[in-house]
Amino acid sequence: MQFRKKVDNKLTVAVRVALSVGTFVVAAPVLAQDATGPIPGEAKKLEAVTVTGSRIPRVDVETAQPVIMIDRKQLENQGFTSVADVLQNLTEVGSPPISRANALSSGENVGGYYVDLRNIGPNRTLVLVNGKRLGANTTGLQDLNQIPMSAIERIEVLKDGGSSIYGSDAIAGVVNVITRSNYTGAEANAYVGEYDQGDGKKQIYDFTLGTANDRGSLMMSAQYVKEDPVWAKDREFSEYPSGPNHPQPTAGWSAVSQYGALVNAPCGPLNASTKKYPNCVPTPGSDTRNFANYRPQTTDQYANSNQQMMLQTGSQRTSLFVAGKYNLDENIAFKTDFLYNKRKTEQQIAGYPYQSSSFGTPLDAGSYFNPLGKTANFTRRGWEMPRTTDSELETYRWTAGFEGYFDLGGHTFNWDVGAMTNRNNMLKIGHGDFNLVNAGSALGPSFLGSDGKVHCGTNGKAIAGCVPWNPLLAYGQAGAGSLSDPALQKFLFPEYHDTGRTTTVDYTANIAGTWFSLPGGDLGIAAGVEHREEEGRFVPDAFNQAGLSSGLAATTTSGKYRVNEAYLELDAPLLRDMTMARELSVNVATRYSDYNNFGSTTNSKFGLKWKPIDDLLVRGSWAQGFRAPTISDLYGGVGGSFESYIDPCDATRGSAKGNPAVAARCGSGFGGQPTVAANFHQLGQALVPCTTYPCQSNYQFTNGSNPNLTPETATTRTLGMIYSPHYIEGFDVSLDWYRIDIKNLISADTVQNILDDCYSGGIASRCTSFQRDPSTGAITNMYYGLTNKGWEKTAGYDFGVNYRFSLESIGQFVARWNTTYVDYLNIKADDNPSTKVQPFVGVANSAGVTFRTRSNVTLDWSKGIFGATWTVRYYSGMTEKCSFTTECNEPNHVDPFNGASPMRHVGSTTFNDVQFRWTLPWKGIISVGANNVFDKQGPIMYTKPASSFVYYGGFDIGRFYYLKYSQRF
């Protein structure tokens, strides 16, 4: 067993020294210097602004809706360097939808970084740039890392439904990235960092230039980011599929390995129950053509696929953002901005586990390499050629429009008209999957020619261009037909190209201002119209579409739709400066949306803002929301995957153990399925009994879209308060309750849900989606598509404390404490009244974790030229289903969905981050820091939440040191 490797390198040593010196340098001024300069966050001149969630400009940024604001100073004073990383560390955000630890992920979304507010799905969080939509792919997901951090002024996060203002997708909330404007000057930044183990190096370089005067402004920001991959073999928790200290060290290893094996060959005793012989492998270094050299395969000849996998994918991004404004006169201005981003992401997983019986490509009886003299099935992993995927996404986004104001009846109105176009071009290059046509030829008849070389075909009838393959030759063993032969690799492993393009065109017109006076002030009003067109196409490689490669089957996704919308918003200040009503106002909004593919929908919102006293703000809202089906939902092609699941009929790990009702359904042929034996053991790859769960299928299952889908509908409620006591300057505390109810879910059925519904839920109709082999009991085929069914509900609380204060001779401090507590997150799989509700809070599964509690505490200190920030990130404990009895520390757990189900619970995890800063006389700033400074490692999680490894994909994978230099001109 190997443990995490500690490598002292120049960067790590340098940052360690700087951190040590920083601790001393920072401590000295705390005791010796006087406080100077303003306290961060001190009040400035008030001006009307538009806050995310409303279109009405206002002086008071506190609205009836809860909004998080992350300003540029906060972005700079932490070690996270992308929009996605910053948002992922908010307590309100759920598991990363596709983390960099999802090495086995495939498809159009891989390589992007998305945000999932409230853990109800990234496609239910809308992302805006300067109030306009960020372009999405055909699945509706919006890649946050298209936006260069160097161009950002602040990020606003609306933690409330926003469909009445912004339309589809704004169910959980809205992320609005606001770019810098009216910037004058220039600045350059350089950032380098890496993990304590000497890997995962990150480099970021950016340059920003801007100028502004009375006639207008122009700003340009360019950024380059390069993040090296981290290998699973270089971390203790990911070095082996089952993690460290597992009761069965080779659990999770694949029987399809780099040792070629004959299937059902008589090298050992016949199994009395299966009536089959064992898999047979030649002894190391022996002549594979002589069957006398073959022995039954043992577990030490299985494959540890983690040895070839990336724990964290590598990526590169090149970004350019340009924004300009020109005042045509004092009332009208022209505004435009342009975003270019090119993202490259590299993935690597272990060589393909080739099983000849899956593709009808056995080793021909006439093959020179066949030791049996008759057609023989085999297994052999392509260890010499790991599977790689290079994903490239190129984004062009351009907005242009006019804005201005006019006075009417003593009131001022702001207006704007504009257009936005966004185009994403995608290219995915895959390598390492077998060309099945060529594999069939390479495994066909072959002979030893007079030239001493083996050729395809028969003597006198050689097949030109074909290279023969000996799949029984182990990795590292030389010989004819070796998979290490470059000519054979070229013949068997071509490059595969998937292409895609999505286009968004959006036209908008808005007007906002005040209309007439009410007892509490002027009535605010905003109205607007919008026309949006979405078009997308994703085309898998022709070989994959035709089923001619070992890659996942897929067909073309192609479609488009358009929508016309109109909205109206009113903000009515009813009372002001009265007893128990220092302020009382209501906000109402409604939006009508007309889609050409499914029809129209109207969504409204009501908000209340009440200040009974100057120190206390009470706010609440009720909002309708919706999510329209995406291009992929409606017009997506059929895809394939080798899914991991727990068969409920497994007598040792499934629900049948300890649940008589499930056992009875499995044994009675429930739902028209074959009868499953009482001692059934789920079969994994190479049809070998599973040793860890969820266990990956030996068979490829298929999934697809549904052109008859209708929108999801939602209701969001919030109620909260902010208390800012006048007797404690700079202090405020907030508490907000939220509840989100979603109906008519657009659900991607899962293998596990179908099986659980069939056997645990007793829903016979769900049993028709799959087929079992009557002799082995293995599930050989399953189709799981998209449907509108069931509901999802979640509720919880957000608690926040902010305190800005100054201590004489010590400096200025900003303290922030934010906590999110999830009361419940429940999903009902379908509309059948007998189907039980499935709870997800605190439960880890392959999709991720809904933590009961997440909490962050940040303390920022500044004094003269020095500054420091310390952040603590807390995650509550997790619970998961057990793979082995010895793991179950909650053996008597009763699940309301599956009944008696032993569980495994792990405790909470806390990470600490630190940064020290020095401001230099020539306007330079040096920052050194470490994320996860105490090198905390989270618990092993066998369900692999949001990951391809037994470790949560949202946790830190080591101590990360960084050094940053900023220069302003």
CB distance 513 to 412 below 8 Å: yes
Segment among 100-114, 449-463, 905-919 with least mean pLDDT: 100-114
With H, G, I as helix, E, B as strand and everything else as coil, classify residue 320: strand
Confidence of residue 885 (pLDDT cuts 50, 70, 90): low
Mean pLDDT of 251-264: 93
According to DSSP, residue 88 is labeled H
Rounded CA-CA distance 961/407 in Å is 55
- Extract long-range pairs of 658-665: CB within 8 Å, 24+ residues apart: 658/899, 658/900, 658/901, 658/902, 659/760, 659/898, 659/899, 659/900, 661/762, 661/899, 662/759, 662/760, 662/899, 665/758, 665/759, 665/762
pLDDT, averaged across the chain: 90
pLDDT single digits (tens) 94-127 = 999 887 778 777 778 888 889 999 999 999 999 9
Rounded CA-CA distance 237/818 in Å is 30
Mean pLDDT of 872-878: 97
Q: Tell me if the bond preceding 29 is cis, omega within 30° of 0.
A: no
- Tell me the CA distances in angstroms from 929 to 362, 817, 912, one per residue in order: 57, 20, 11
**H-helix or E-strand containing 392?**
strand 387-408
Q: Please determine, for residue 595, whether its predicted confidence score (pLDDT) is greater than 70.
A: yes
Backbone angles phi, psi at 937, to 5 degrees: -115, 130
Rounded CA-CA distance 26/859 in Å is 14
- The pLDDT assigned to 884 comes to 61
- The pLDDT assigned to 896 comes to 66
User: CB neighbours (10 Å) of residue 919?
Assistant: 16
Mean pLDDT of 892-921: 87
Confidence of residue 688 (pLDDT cuts 50, 70, 90): confident
- The pLDDT assigned to 414 comes to 95
Q: Please determine, for residue 43, whether its predicted confidence score (pLDDT) is greater than 70.
A: no
Confidence of residue 16 (pLDDT cuts 50, 70, 90): very low
Question: How many CA atoms, within 13 angstroms, populate the side-chain half-sphere of residue 286?
Answer: 16
- The pLDDT assigned to 132 comes to 95
- The pLDDT assigned to 422 comes to 97
pLDDT single digits (tens) 635-671 = 987 777 788 899 999 998 888 988 899 999 999 989 9
- Tell me the CA distances in angstroms from 611 to 16, 46, 583, 917, one per residue in order: 50, 20, 5, 40
CB distance 748 to 786 below 8 Å: yes
pLDDT single digits (tens) 70-89 = 999 999 888 888 888 999 99
- The pLDDT assigned to 831 comes to 77
Going by DSSP bridges, is the β-strand pair 903-906/899-900 parallel, antiparallel, or unpaired?
unpaired
| Sign, CA torsion 344/347/351/355 | negative
Segment among 33-42, 433-442, 628-637 with least mean pLDDT: 33-42
Characterize 439-467 residue by residue with b for buried, 16 or more Cβ atoms within 10 angstroms of its Cβ, and e for exposed.
bbbbbbbbbeeeeeebbbbeeeeebeebb
Q: Please determine, for residue 21, whether its predicted confidence score (pLDDT) is greater than 60.
A: no
Q: Please determine, for residue 478, whether its predicted confidence score (pLDDT) is greater than 60.
A: yes
Confidence of residue 550 (pLDDT cuts 50, 70, 90): very high
What radius of gyration do the chain's Cα atoms show?
A: 30
pLDDT single digits (tens) 771-822 = 999 988 999 989 888 888 889 999 999 999 999 999 988 999 999 999 999 9
Backbone angles phi, psi at 433, to 5 degrees: -90, 145
With H, G, I as helix, E, B as strand and everything else as coil, classify residue 42: coil
pTM of the model: 0.87
Characterize 805-830 residue by residue with b for buried, 16 or more Cβ atoms within 10 angstroms of its Cβ, and e for exposed.
ebeeebbbbbbbbbbbbbeebbbbbb
What's the burial of 491, exposed, middle or buried (CB within 10 Å: 0-12/13-18/19+)?
buried
Beta bridge partners, 581, equal 578
- The pLDDT assigned to 748 comes to 72
Distance of CA 703 to the CA centre of its chain: 20
CB distance 663 to 234 below 8 Å: no
Residue of 867 and 888 predicted with greater confidence: 867
Residue of 766 and 605 predicted with greater confidence: 605
pLDDT single digits (tens) 328-373 = 998 999 999 999 999 999 999 999 999 999 899 999 999 999 999 9
**Highest mean pLDDT out of 36-40, 49-53, 65-69, 855-859:** 855-859
Mean pLDDT of 910-917: 97
Q: Please determine, for residue 720, whether its predicted confidence score (pLDDT) is greater than 50.
A: yes
Q: Please determine, for residue 23, whether its predicted confidence score (pLDDT) is greater than 50.
A: no
Measuring CA to CA, which residue among 626, 418, 415, 424 is closest to residue 530?
418
Measuring CA to CA, which residue among 693, 701, 679 is closest to residue 776?
679
Mean pLDDT of 478-494: 97
